[in-house]
Amino acid sequence: MTMYGGYSNNNYAARDEAAAASSEAASAKRDVASLERELAKLKLVCAAVWELVKTRTNLTEDDLAAMVAELDAKDGVADGQLTRSVRKCVSCDRTVPSKQNKCMYCGTIQPIDSIFEGI
């Protein structure tokens, strides 16, 4: 171990690793704070949209809860998440990845369920 000014190379390496970890932690905290702000905005927009729909139609909280449950189960798993699953091509019946809008085997454009678009 080489000593420079009372510190070994291992001490310098450990100090550099600690500084890098601290920087990564600070970056992660900023990312979490940003996501929390985005989530708060989305919650506000969802609440506003629901209030508009509720006051301009005759839909109820029960109607909303039923639709949430229906959409939640649409992917085959009632897990509180909206996810796309693998689908079958409307033309050749082969598997089409959920993020593709065109069959890679026959080239047929696949219909997109607007609820799942962009997921």
DSSP state of 102: B
**pTM for the predicted model, two decimal places:** 0.56
Question: Helix 9-56 vs helix 61-73: angle between axes, to the nearest 10 degrees?
Answer: 130
Instruction: Summarize pLDDT for 85-110 with one digit per residue, the tens.
Output: 678 899 999 998 877 889 999 999 98
Instruction: Summarize pLDDT for 12-68 with one digit per residue, the tens.
Output: 889 999 999 999 999 999 999 999 999 999 999 999 999 999 999 999 999 999 999
Residue type, 38: E
Check: CB of residue 71 under 8 Å from CB of residue 114.
Answer: no
CA–CA dist 89, 111 (Å, integer): 9
CA–CA dist 72, 88 (Å, integer): 20
